[in-house]
Chain A
Amino acid sequence: MNRRRAWQRVLVLAAALAACLAPASHGESPVPAAHVLSHLESSCLDCHDADTAEGKLAIPALGTDLSDASVREKFVLMHDRVAKKQMPPDADDLPDDKRAALLSALSAFVEQADRADVLANGRVPLRRLNRHEYEQTLRDILLLPNLDIGDRLPEDRTRDGFNKSAEGLDFSRIQLEAALDAADAALRAAIADGVAPQPPDTFTAISKNLFAGEAYGEPHSRFFAKESQKVDKPEADDADVECAIFRSAYWPYHGYPRGFVAKRSGVYRVRFKARAVHQMENLTLVPAPQPVPMTFRARAPSGPDVSGDVQAVGGLFDIAPEGGEYETTVLLKKGQTIEYSLLGLAVPLARNVNGGGPTYRFPPLPPGGHPGIAFKSLEITGPLQPDAWPPASHRVLFDDLPFRAAPAGASPAVEVIASDPEADARRLFRRFAASALVRPLPEGDAAAYEELIVTAIRGGTGFTQAMLAGYRAIVCSPEFLYLEDPRSPDSPGGPADLVPLAQRLSYFLWDTRPDNGLLAKATSGDLGRPEVLRAEVDRLVGDPRFARFITNFTNYWLDLRNLRRDEPDIRLYPEYRFDDYLVESMGMETRAFVTAMVRENMPASAIVDTDFVFANDRLARHYRLEPLSGYAVRKVPVPPGSSLGGLLTQAAVQKVTANGTNTSPVLRGAWVMTRLLGQPPPKPPESVPAVEPDIRGAKTIRDLLALHTKDTSCASCHKLFDPVGFALESFDICGGWRERYRGLEEGEQVTGIDRAGHDFSYRLSHPVDPRGSLPDGRTFSDIRSLKALLADSSRQLARNLLHQFTAYATGAPVRFSDRPDIEAILDACAADGYRVRDLLQGFVASGIFRGLGGEHP
């Protein structure tokens, strides 16, 4: 078909369409499609006509029906590529004034259509709770803070970067079945497990009963001591005997007390006396110069070979050299015990000399001795019972109705006695539904649930079981499982209904349903006032529950959930062998940092650079700072001239962007551009193989990459993200500073015995070359000077944060009609340097968050 004629037809069609378009929400006159098309025709059609269709884009075939989401996306892409001067390929082909005119026409046209779609369909469809939110909500409703059912539900899909995407959170038969089962388990856990609380068991251990099993590599990994000297056969009743442990908990190890196993699941109190020591020559003990950190592990007493869960419980402790009595609580399942888990210490090597049976070698005594902890006594009491009986969780379900013991072996263990079963059923059900749902059920719905219960009672099902069926139904109902877009035009409460806004805020910052305070402000309408909303944000951010946001948000935004994904390659990095404490500390650092970014209202440039870091004893060594003692991360100033400070150079970021063996400037660079700067590189072409670093040490990654990007079409993209990666080459796979690469075959040999008793030998090969230049031509010589350049990008760093918040909090990424809102928030925060809490407040106050896309308060 003749190109011009085809084009004319589109124009006519477009004009007709434009006449029918809905008026834009801002009361501006609608943008006629013909206007846009005339701009496109003069600038784009030479290459993107029906017969040329370069890059598989034929504009005439697209049409102008932007109510079709796929067409809209194409127009957005056109807009963005022109805006970034990626189109036309030769920027000189489109003079600035024409480019501005084209962009303005495109932008108005697309925004109008996108806004119309939001008005018609809402910004985000119903979003299902993800499994963490579901579990947390049940914990809060049932007053069961330790409820553990999340893993019964299938893992949620990640989409748009998070596990909170409305489109990503599908529902299936397997989901529903799992939800019914999880709800059943949760409800049963809420019911009293007997007519009266069972008194807790108490277990005490001293001397040789402090330790059953084996630490392997004994005696140097563990021994009994008296008066700071090893004893061979301690008396069982000798309270002066200490059990001194010098290793961390890795296979093979079974380091639990003799004779204790939890007979029932529950919370146990642990009290113990211990001191931090160093092991010196001839198995003698001296007080340690520093505290030694530890925790406990809950596990089955199954010997060296672990069966089932292994969970760190009871939190971290710093055991002081002068010793003391320590107390914590641990959550144990029936059949589990607790294991001493000392952090960051040596590990014996299990080896088979000449293929023979396994033997164990503990690393040689370092100067100053082996750090460890000497335990003197241990007392475990539990399960601890609540002050009142039945427990509060039981009252949520059955109020104060009397109950009796059920037949032996039945579940639940008690039967509730109802004097007027049907009336009690209705009352209890409404009471529970009111606490479980954020708004009352419509009358018809409530009656249907009550009918379910009453029918069961009449059919001979016991009262307790019948109530459970009703409760189970309500927490699997769509009202419970799905969140609606606040102020969607079809919201049952109408546009003035603030309950969904309260829900969104609460699931955003606390991962759970709104608490009563927030809910009351929503139903009273107060939440509609900006100062009230602002105060609620401050309250939620200041609450301990805000830690849930930090954990989940950083798990996805910064990939902290992948922190343990890749074991360090011990051939090249023996110093990281089995150093779980280092990895744990990395996560603590980054979470503390992001918490501070919000709570202390830091400028967005903190992503790139700060004059402090968060560090603990282990990280201080890792980062070569002045020594610190204790496990807790705290703010410490970075030394002058240091490359540290900011998210960009944190160990956690370096670890999740490496693969355990080597680093790639391509992958790290692309990650940083996507996650921290919000400028994701284009997708790589499918046919190009990845660049594999040479672990022999013969070639540097830059040499290999230079070959890879010799082709100019490769180079044009790689220059967008490789440079940041080049500067980060100064950090190894765990974020340790390096000036030379390591390899196995070439370079200067380094040998020794690592912290796990293992001989190592690697080679120091080529020096790291951290120089590079940004796409705009500015050059840097290392990570320090790169940071100085990136710190200029405050607005982009802040914009990216807002994009991350949007996808996380609303369940859908920033769409075209959200962009003016984003820029407005940025404008408002510009003068004060784009501070993070200000951005968060601005975001929550925006139309993006509050619903009805783009409508300002």
Chain B
Amino acid sequence: MTHHENRASGYRTHDKRGLSRRMFLRGAGAAVALPMLEALLPARAAQAALDAPPQRAILISNNLGVLPKPFFPTGTGSEYQLSPYLETVAAHRSDFTVISGLSHPNVRGGHSTENCFLTAARNPTASGFRNTISLDQFAAERIGHLTRFPSLNLGVNIDKGNRSLAWTRDGVLIPAEDKPSRLYEKMFVGGSPAEVAAQLERLKERGSILDVLDDDARRLSRRISAADRRRLEQYFTSIRELEERLQEAGAWEQRPKPSAPAAAPDDVTDRAYFFKGFEAMLTMARLAIESDSTRIVTLMVDAFATPAFKLDDTETTTDGYHNLSHHGQSAEKVRQLEEADRRQMELLGGLFTALGERREGGRRLLDSTIVLYGSNMGDANTHDNTNLPILLAGGGFRHGSHLAFKHDDNAPLCNLFVSVLNRLGIEADAFGSSAGSLKGLDT
């Protein structure tokens, strides 16, 4: 029962027999001075080599989307014709699926939908609206304990106070990290002993609370009927599983961070260098996956907050990104947008290449990393939130085709999210507004 979720996720966690929680916690206090907890460390490193590589996901949204015409291909299935944008990633054709005819039902309201891309919460501008848990957080609740960071939430040029792809259960925004240097430090540079000690103290307190609750429930269990005891069994299981998570968290606190694969990055502080900023964040996302610092990364490209930006060394756009997106068919604006869209596709292609070159357990890292690129905008010019542009790469799906759903009666984007969750080893049959998993998407 305890291992139910782990089995479901395709991972096996270590067995804690012989090491009680109390022993762990007693050890934890001293562990700062004696940074050695190998006996408690998950045997994951060794296990990982034997098991299939873990599944990861990088979930990206540009909140102004792309021009729909040059993005969506003609023809469906595996015989489809690459669109102008898809030509830029033609080399990866067998590693991605382009999907049309998806959207979130009742998620309308222009740019207000940007915070709902991974949540699908309905009617974001109506009274009574509160956002709901995002796909990445839902996944992190289930597999987040397997890595140092349950998830990482990244942003490019992002208005951190108002926009994010990651939202908690009670609709609270989880601010994105927009500085590559901060991410680098988090992932590769160890915390101060005081920070580690404070974190361990918090874990210890939670552990003590669980102890008391466990004892209490045991005494209660003796006073109640067999049928009641069966219900209470869930309570015991919950305590046990949460204790395991605490141990893992404690182990992570004391485990040395992976060695840095490269020098610390420079932050791109000038928003006008938009492509540089995007590229830097794609690199951080890849490093996070490569170092197994996390298995779930979100990345919001806040095009809306991007001022006039450099198209190349000599040309800067005539307008801010948002104004450009309301091109009103102006040929000049459309040209600049096409250029911006194409450059982003190229950078995505670079990520596919990099993930394809790295190997893990004899497989390409790309095959165990889902890359989802999309937007809450089907057509930013007209504030259309239907027919969202969706590109899905890697992750071991069978790729190479154009999955087309109805243009005038979209399928729920959440169907794809369910497929992503299942691919991550999470046994979910529903998420948000899903009605099953995505038809036609196989592994």
Contacts and interface: CB of A to CB of B under 8 A. Distances in A.
A386 interface: no
B126 interface: yes
Contacts of A172: 234, 237-238, 241
Interface stretch (B88-96, B103-111, B253-261, B264-272): B103-111
A152 B169 contact: yes
A310 B237 contact: no
A312 B127 contact: yes
Contacts of B326: 357-358
Given A122-B225, A125-B230, A473-B213, A312 B128 contact: yes
Contact of A449 (B125, B169, B212): B212
A126 B127 contact: no
Interface string B221-233: 0011111101110
A452 interface: yes
Nearest to B130: A309
Contact of B235 (A127, A304, A478, A492): A478
B129 A309 contact: yes
Interface string B198-233: 000100011011011101110110011111101110
Nearest to B111: A305
Nearest to A584: B127
Nearest to B109: A251
A600 interface: no
Given A126-B232, A310-B126, A473-B209, A488 B225 contact: yes
A180 B232 contact: no
Interface in B114-173: 114-115, 122-131, 141, 161-163, 168-171, 173
A472 B206 CA distance: 10
Contact of B383 (A153, A350, A565): A350
A832 B112 CA distance: 55
Contacts of B415: none
A154 interface: yes
B364 interface: no
A358 B383 contact: yes
Contacts of A473: 209, 212-213
Most chain B CB inside 10 Å of its own CB: which residue of A152, A172, A307, A335: A307
A127 B231 CA distance: 8
Contacts of B126: 250, 310, 564, 580
Nearest to A127: B231
A448 interface: yes
Nearest to A444: B219
Interface residues of B, number: 65
B242 interface: yes
A42 interface: no
A173 B237 contact: yes
A472 B209 contact: yes
A170 interface: yes
Nearest to B168: A152
Nearest to A359: B328
B47 interface: no
B316 interface: no
A180 B235 contact: no
B83 interface: no
A333 B148 CA distance: 32
A456 B205 contact: yes
A176 B128 contact: no
Contact of B129 (A310, A357, A476): A310
A83 interface: no
A250 B127 CA distance: 9
A176 B220 contact: no
B208 to A, nearest CB: 6
A311 B123 CA distance: 12
Q: How large is the interface on A (under 10, 10 to 19, 20 to 34, 35 or more residues)?
A: 35 or more
Contacts of B382: 352, 355, 358
Contact of B328 (A356, A455, A490): A356
Interface in A125-159: 125-127, 148-154
Interface string A761-775: 000000000000000
Contact of A448 (B205, B212, B227): B212
B234 A170 contact: yes
A175 interface: yes
A469 B204 CA distance: 11
Given A172-B238, A310-B126, A469 B224 contact: no
B225 A121 contact: yes
Interface string A448-478: 1101100110000100010001001100111
Contact of A126 (B163, B231, B245, B328): B231
B131 A152 contact: no
Contact of A490 (B123, B124, B205, B225): B225
Nearest to B227: A121
Contact of B238 (A171, A302, A489): A171
Contacts of B241: 172-173
A302 B162 contact: yes
A713 B227 CA distance: 41
Most chain B CB inside 10 Å of its own CB: which residue of A126, A166, A174, A178: A126
B328 A306 contact: no
Nearest to B124: A306
B162 A126 contact: no
B381 interface: yes
B239 interface: yes
A581 to B, nearest CB: 10
A307 B381 contact: no
B329 interface: yes
Given A176-B242, A177-B242, A484 B224 contact: yes
Contact of B216 (A120, A307, A478): A478
A442 B228 contact: no
A307 B163 contact: yes
A795 B118 CA distance: 49
A795 to B, nearest CB: 33
Given A350-B383, A477-B216, A180 B124 contact: no
B237 A250 contact: no
Contact of B329 (A354, A451, A565): A354
Given A488-B225, A490-B223, A307 B171 contact: no
Nearest to B162: A307
B123 to A, nearest CB: 7
B179 to A, nearest CB: 21
A436 to B, nearest CB: 13
Interface in A349-366: 350, 352, 354-358
Contacts of A489: 225
Nearest to B204: A459
A846 interface: no
Contacts of B220: 478-479
Interface in A566-602: 567, 580
Given A304-B112, A484-B224, 20 more contacts: A151-B169, A152-B170, A170-B234, A172-B237, A172-B241, A180-B206, A250-B125, A251-B112, A297-B127, A310-B126, A311-B130, A312-B128, A335-B161, A461-B205, A477-B216, A478-B217, A481-B235, A482-B232, A484-B228, A488-B228
Interface of A: 120-122, 125-127, 148-154, 166, 170-178, 180, 249-252, 295, 297, 300, 302, 304-312, 335, 341, 350, 352, 354-358, 442, 444-445, 448-449, 451-452, 455-456, 461, 465, 469, 472-473, 476-479, 481-482, 484, 488-490, 492, 564-565, 567, 580
**CB-based closest 3 A-B pairs:** A151-B170, A305-B111, A356-B328
Interface of B: 106, 108-112, 114-115, 122-131, 141, 161-163, 168-171, 173, 201, 205-206, 208-209, 211-213, 215-217, 219-220, 223-228, 230-232, 234-235, 237-239, 241-242, 245, 304, 326-329, 381-383
30 contacts: A121-B226, A151-B130, A152-B169, A170-B234, A171-B234, A172-B234, A173-B238, A174-B141, A175-B238, A178-B169, A251-B109, A251-B112, A251-B125, A252-B110, A300-B162, A305-B110, A307-B163, A307-B173, A309-B129, A311-B129, A335-B161, A341-B127, A448-B215, A451-B212, A473-B213, A478-B220, A489-B225, A490-B223, A492-B224, A564-B122
